Structure 1
């Protein structure tokens, strides 16, 4: 991409010939200046009047960055963010991160998709030709009718996608509901395991965490596998709250992670290194020490909990040594006592250090226990999350000031309402992670072997997909090579409609592509926040360029082909619908400004009181019972046993002595983990979120790639015998594939483990050696789901690393 060419307006572009004209099908205007943010203004626009509009990021990041677009001659010349000048005071300020501030580069990228296109090569090759909107919609609608007539609506699917989150982010779902529906999905790629297991323990009413502001009252803070300054660095959410907490609290803080992440850089005393996937073993070792040294809170466990010991077990399961106490003390199914020495061999943390930590946990109050979503995104993630939640229960540190229930921190935002998608006539639902199975052999998927819900089995394979703003067909899915083979076979999924702003890897499998607009190129609104909540109301920064349309407009065109346009729009434009939704939000929260006031201010901020998780339950467990079967916190779940009865499981989804999944928070060894490395693949491999991207969003931008290079973190202990030095190009490989990237030799990752940031754009010759030069970790991950939630186990891998 040129850094010196001026931005091209639509009318200027149409006058341009030669090489610039060749960019028309997939490329937009290019950067205005040679700076990342475009603070300079090209001479051609110097005299033009500047206008400023508010907008927001709408990627799957809770920061929802506030953006101010400075526009001249209908072109964005630079992007600013919320400042103290806007606020009228210094703090707080929901400012954009580096990614948000660089949006002008994406907005004006020569890789922008400008026109509808249809595929002219093989699926996955990325070869397309420009077509008209009429032809594109006709192709998509005609094929949709054919699939519905031949296979039924269950053959239609809208895959999980995270490229857009806002008030009207899913209009295609509304359209499909009007023509008979589509196959549903449940779960997310981010939180399947913890979202599944938490209701078994806390029910649906008690599963929210305490805010970080609450943790300011704690004396000891334990954070398992979380890095707020990396995963939530934009806007004014928990990265801000985390830094605020660390500066204000007098508590001792421990970050338990296999990597010294950026949230504890400069605070090495806070890092407690642990082998990845072994958090539940650490909790078990701590629990043993607490029990042996009479540091558990028996009054709390006997009053508020089920399943800790025989006294609190359900009647039908008493006398069978199935309690958590029995498991810890070696009386359970495996007859292994979970001593700190036992835990040390698995976690890599010395037994003495486990005992010291347990002593602190048992004697320091208030205790705030928190976990990120990394520890649960594993093959044993349901039990890992459960074990971490059990830890504060053991010492009664739930529902009190300065405590948390072991889940992620609370986030509170202003009231908002999204477009009504209507009711889906199709009730059948699959785990979102198993969509490639549903394409390849969907009719073999059942409730017992694949978690199909609201049906005993799928009736038909997926034959038609609408992939809106998603890179989860390949890049963010697992085992990209296998996903490619499934998607490239046109006899399986017969048609894929893709909608996006640039040609990501997943979009290359589309049969027809439609050019999308960013949320800040149209009227849009979004709410987010944490201890401080805020709402951003944005208007279009420029007029629509080329032939790009909003998704609402696209879905309306599809609805017209099916004769349901009137039902789809209800006579309303998208902007009218957004305003209508906003008025419904104001009915819920009258303190919200009027629509015109919201547009004028751009960013509306409201302060929230600290949230103490499960306070009402702690105050009165009878009047405020949880909606678990027992009404209590369930450390043993009879419901889980009943729900999974008869499930078809792999041998390593259970434990010796059990023929079902464990009904208590045990340590379950991973399929591909530190205890299951091999001579061929002797290293564990785990992913993490990266500052330069949100998942794969921004993953194509050369400026951000330059300052955030794709690297494999490897400890010097592992690098030296392999002859690997800092900055070397290396290949990481396993049975699923091979990637090429730079080596980061650092003691900030535990020995025996390689860390690769997720979201890098896949870049491989799929007709050749398939070596991924982009360094996407999902070239190396498995499509086998975690056993209970059928979720994404992206961090469960083993590998080898060699110099390229």
Structure 2
């Protein structure tokens, strides 16, 4: 108690008298009639139960039961289950990150008051100002920037730290759209390549739910690691775990790292060189073709480009995927298992065996995570893995997938309407530093700019809400730091957040927002909860600390200074918007009771998608003529004529390619870059850790102790450098130097090192990052098609520090 008294000594106490109740529903597989439980819970020690949620960007979504005494959080527990025995009604247990939200709320680096910069940008020196001063200054800067440079110079930066519905992103975008709009972004840091590339194969980015693994006898995952990325009860790991327990399917995980998913799924690990997934696919298909394991007539029924007979008229006669694999295409290289082994590091014998297993399985579920696509040739890898499912006829049927990672069925909770943006210009989110530093080079054919042939002005004002991609999660932090420090380029940066993150230090004005546990909202399940979908009502479990405020209220004040407050609020408070959104949901789900502020909290309703809606492209598989795909041909396109046109029209950097078929091509800073390897002989990839979600929770000491950020290095490479487990090491390349500790383990393949992403950047006086941030070493080069981030394609060396 003494610790908490010290931490909250400067808070402004607000007495609360509202009571809360837990909401649940009776259980049924598909239809869950609603019913409320009990009255507010209170024991003799005056503890009360309140309800919130973890809104971090892990892809899961977990309801939190928060135990509070005297307006101080005591502990966090999971909400009760509807029916633990049935998936879709099970207890959504938060992971150690979600359960650490108490420590996140009381963290000493909380932002407490509005502040304005007084030192050099990036130094982190600020002075306290009033909310009136802060909101008026932002309104003034928005007006001045709009008048001087135009609305396209105002940029709302990509972020993912808080998935609110009635505050956060939608609040800022609504305010900006009411005053002329802002420069858009497209892509995400997570999924740029897969979202751009997958539609060129199937027309859509759709995957079968993991519930279909119930019907599989073989599961093959490329770089998919649910046990660390979607590890809570509100994520897909629970869906997969229960499905595997039913089917007992053999599971194979292809990854440079022996991940926790390999352990928990009792899977076989095939270690593969980063960037080489498309080469493995080619080797597998070669075996399938030469051993007669596939039905080419069936492939041609559904797809174009597998062989010469289905190529479009514009294609060269020897440009089919079969030509590529058999060595009759222009490169004259046979892509057999021996060739694939030389590229991937997987033994040729095992590649041949795997091809036979996939082709002869009754139902093989092939999926990929987002690691394989976050490379310089990631788009080709995406399409190659999709193509494998097509050629092996392991798609469209129960127990199969389309070779991607499936998203979730959404419950359907609306957000605060952001309104239409009058500015149609859009840049790839990973190119924002170029749009600050060298906007004149950015065009539609060089950098994937949309809505205009070229940028007319650079970014002059940035709004950064609940995000650390301003620098921490962005590439080449050394160069990014230099660009952001120059306030003659980007002239004003607004950061609204909970903590003094590395990105917050680059703000010109800092705004403290309510944390998840201090906020009211009505939220959906997140994007990777699978077939399980649900609605959570959140209440402020404690009075907001210090002077923190909801970004809805912050933007309402800015809108008032700009003369559009009535249009912004439509006469509603944030709480009234929550009630409004609840009633919209209730129109579609009339079994829900009327809204009540005190009872519409907790896990309100939980459902599972019907099995008949869980198989990707099943209608096309059953009747391709009646259910054509959204591709130009209406079929699966192994050869893409659209990509052939793009490669001719776009201006690509030397060595970049947009292959028309999903073949493998080597890239710089890979194991097939002989010049690069001379100086930096180790491939470095990033991975997600259980200790934090991206950079959220990364500053909490208890999680650092439980899951320390360490660079994984194989014992062979460690012995060569005199490195022992736990040694401090210096990781370096031409972009920077990072200090961390070594984890010497055979769980990463030789000549590959793996570093958790999300550690908080901290340069010392020598310019070395001692915060363990992988982006000290990653680059800003864009991928060819999506113009996304290749942050797993890096060469480094490691020395003992």
Counterpart in the other structure of 2:35:
none
> Matched residues in 2 for 1:74 and 1:616: separation?
54
Q: Contact 2:691–2:707 at 8 Å: present in 1 too?
A: yes
Q: What residue number does 2:37 align with?
A: none
Residue 32 of structure 1 corresponds to none
Task: Provide the rounded CA distance (Å) in 1 between the counterparts of 2:5 and 2:554.
Answer: 27
Contact 1:757–1:777 under 8 Å retained in 2: yes
**What is aligned with 1:679?**
678
Q: Give the distance between the partners of 1:331 and 1:167, measured in 2 at CA.
A: 54
Q: Which residue of 1 aligns with 2:27?
A: none
How far did residue 650 of structure 1 move?
A: 1.6
Matched, 1:429 2:426: yes
Q: Deviations over 1:167-190 (max 9, x none)?
A: 123211100001110000000000
Superposition deviation, residue 418 in structure 1: 1.3
CA-to-aligned-CA distance 1:335-382 (integer Å, 9 cap, x gap) = 211111111111001111111111111222211101111110111110
SS of alignment partner, residue 79 of structure 1? strand
Match of 2:153 among 152, 155, 158: 155
Task: Note the 1:379-778 alignment, pairs <5 A.
Answer: 379-528=376-525, 529-592=529-592, 594-596=594-596, 599-600=600-601, 602-610=603-611, 611-654=614-657, 661-676=658-673, 677-765=676-764, 768-778=765-775
Q: 1:35-79 CA distances to partner (integer Å, 9 max, x unpaired)?
A: xxxxxxxxxx99862221111011112221211111222222222
SS at structure 2 position matched to 1:118: strand
**Aligned partners of 1:50 and 1:72 also within 8 Å:** yes
More divergent stretch after superposition (702-711 vs 459-468)? 702-711
1:391, 1:620 → 2: CA distance?
21
8 Å contact from structure 2 (residues 538, 602) kept in 1: no
Distance 1:88 1:240 in 2: 12
Shift of 1:666: 0.8
- The answer as to 2:50 corresponding to 1:53 is yes
Distance 1:176 1:112 in 2: 26
Shift of 1:13: 4.8
| Greater Cα offset, 521-530 or 159-168 | 521-530
Which structure 2 residues correspond to residues 125-524 of structure 1 after superposition, within 5 A? 125-168=123-166, 169-170=168-169, 171-204=171-204, 207-265=205-263, 270-317=268-315, 319-524=316-521
1:748 CA displacement? 0.5
Pairwise mapping of residues 787-798 of structure 1 onto structure 2 (< 5 A)?
A: 787-798=784-795
Question: 1:12 and 1:163 mapped to 2: Cα distance?
Answer: 26
The answer for the alignment partner of 2:33 in structure 1 is none
Q: Report the Cα distance in structure 2 between the residues aligned to 1:88 and 1:550, rounded to whole angstroms.
A: 38
Secondary structure, counterpart of 1:285 in structure 2: helix
Whole-angstrom CA distance in 1 between matches of 2:51 and 2:699: 25
CA contact (8 A) 1:7 1:75 kept: no
Contact (CA 8 Å) 1:361, 1:367: kept in 2 or not? yes
Change in Cα spacing, 1:648 to 1:148, as seen in structure 2 (3 Å) is same
Contact 2:395 2:401 (C-alpha < 8 Å) held by counterparts: yes
SS of match in other structure, 1:408:
coil
Bigger shift: residues 239-248 or 357-366: 239-248
How far, CA to CA, are the matches of 1:420 and 1:449 in structure 2?
33
CA distance in structure 1 between the aligned counterparts of 2:389 and 2:84, rounded to whole angstroms? 39
Mean alpha-carbon deviation: is it higher for 558-567 or for 644-653?
644-653
CA 1:609–1:121: 2 relative to 1, 3 Å: same
What's 2:32 paired with?
none
1:101 aligned residue: 99
- Which stretch of structure 1 is more off in the superposition, 231-240 or 340-349? 231-240
Point out the more displaced range, 240-249 or 423-432. 240-249
| Cα deviation code 1:236-285 (max 9, x no counterpart) | 22111222233222321100000000011266751111111111100000
How many angstroms apart in 2 are the aligned matches of 1:9 and 1:701?
15
C-alpha displacement of 1:520: 2.9
Separation in structure 1 between the aligned mates of residue 4 and residue 544 of structure 2, nearest angstrom:
18
Tell me, in whole angstroms, the C-alpha distance in 2 between the residues paired with 1:785 and 1:594. Answer: 50
Query: 8 Å contact 1:66–1:603 — kept in the other structure?
Result: no
Alpha-carbon separation, structure 2, partners of 1:393 and 1:679: 39
Given that 2:671 and 2:677 are in contact with CA atoms closer than 8 Å, whether structure 1 keeps it comes out as no
* Residues 423-464 of structure 1, C-alpha deviations (whole Å, 9 max, x = no match): 101000000000000010112200011000010000000000
Q: Distance in 2 between matches of 1:429 and 1:338?
A: 39
**Contact 1:689 1:695 (C-alpha < 8 Å) held by counterparts:** yes
Deviation at 1:392, TM superposition (A): 1.0
Verify the 8 A CA contact 2:212 2:243 in the aligned structure 1. no
2-structure distance, mates of 1:738, 1:534: 44
Segments of structure 2 that go 5 or more residues without pairing to the other structure are: 14-41
- The answer for unaligned runs of 5 or more in structure 1 is 16-44, 655-660
Deviations 1:738-757 (A, max 9, x none): 11111111100010100001
Query: Displacement of 1:84 after TM fit?
Result: 4.3
In the alignment, which residue of structure 2 is the partner of 1:120?
118
Tell me the number of residue pairs that the alignment of Structure 1 and Structure 2 aligns.
762
Distance 1:199 1:592, change over 3 A: farther
Give the secondary structure class of the aligned counterpart of 2:746. coil
- The answer (yes or no) to whether the contact 1:415–1:588 under 8 Å persists in 2 is no
Q: Counterparts of 1:208 and 1:631 in 2: how far apart (Å)? A: 16
Q: Do the aligned partners of 1:178 and 1:568 also contact (CA within 8 Å) in 2?
A: yes
DSSP 3-state at the match of 2:380: helix
CA contact (8 A) 1:66 1:235 kept: no
From the superposition, tell whether residues 653 and 590 of structure 1 become closer, same or farther in structure 2 (CA, over 3 Å).
Answer: farther
Aligned to 1:64, which of 61, 66, 78? 61
The verdict on how the C-alpha distance between 1:9 and 1:269 changes in structure 2, with shifts beyond 3 A counting, is: closer
Further displaced range: 146-155 or 245-254: 245-254
CA 89–388 in structure 1, closer or farther in 2 if over 3 Å, else same: closer
Q: Distance in 2 between matches of 1:540 and 1:111?
A: 20
Q: Kindly indicate whether the alpha-carbon contact (under 8 Å) linking 2:213 and 2:244 is maintained by their aligned counterparts in 1.
A: no
**How far 1:592 moved relative to its partner?**
4.7
CA contact (8 A) 1:237 1:531 kept: no
Cα distance in structure 2, aligned partners of 1:264 and 1:187:
30
Q: What per-residue deviation string (whole Å, max 9, x for no partner) do you get for residues 495-544 of structure 1?
A: 00110011000111000001100233122122223232222111111222
Structure 1 window deviating more from structure 2 (299-308 vs 780-789): it is 299-308
TM-score, normalised by the number of residues in structure 1: 0.92
CA offset at residue 759 of structure 1? 0.5
